[in-house]
Amino acid sequence: MEVVLSMAIGVLGSAGVWLILRPRTFQVLIGLALLSYAVNLFIFSVGSLTLDQEPIVRVGALPTLDNYSDPLPQSLVLTAIVIGFATTALFLVVLMALRGLSGSDHVDGEEERP
């Protein structure tokens, strides 16, 4: 489970960085979204990774450190998802206004030369 999650985080992070370095603004937007998903998965994995168990405390067990999953990373990821969605929507509106005003969606404002 840890290997699959770490590979997913690595793929999302590397694809996000690659897209951030692209010249078009929409690709930068998608790269930022992928990078935020990678960071959210990393923060979520800090809590604990268990399969087929209750998310916080097992039924009938006293809450000890052995059978307790920390809810703080879960709340941080939930907050980050909401903030990420709002900033992505704002960036998309600014991107559409910029394309309408300038007629181009390049990050540096210059068109590609063939």
Q: How far apart (Å, rounded) are the C-alpha atoms in residues 18 and 40?
A: 18
- Asked if residue 7 has pLDDT above 70, the reply is yes
CATH code for 2-49+69-102? Answer: 1.10.287
Q: What mean pLDDT do residues 23-34 have?
A: 90
Q: What mean pLDDT do residues 47-51 have?
A: 68
Identify which has the larger pLDDT, 83 or 68. Answer: 83
Residues 6+ apart with CB under 8 A from 102: 109
Annotated domain spans of the chain? 2-49+69-102
pTM to 2 decimals?
0.75
Q: What mean pLDDT do residues 62-90 have?
A: 81
Q: How far is CA 57 from CA 61, 90, 103, in A?
A: 7, 38, 55
Which letter, b or e, does each residue of 13-27 get, where b requires 16 or more Cβ atoms within 10 Å of its Cβ? Answer: bebbeebbeeeebeb
Q: How far apart (Å, rounded) are the C-alpha atoms in residues 43 and 50?
A: 15
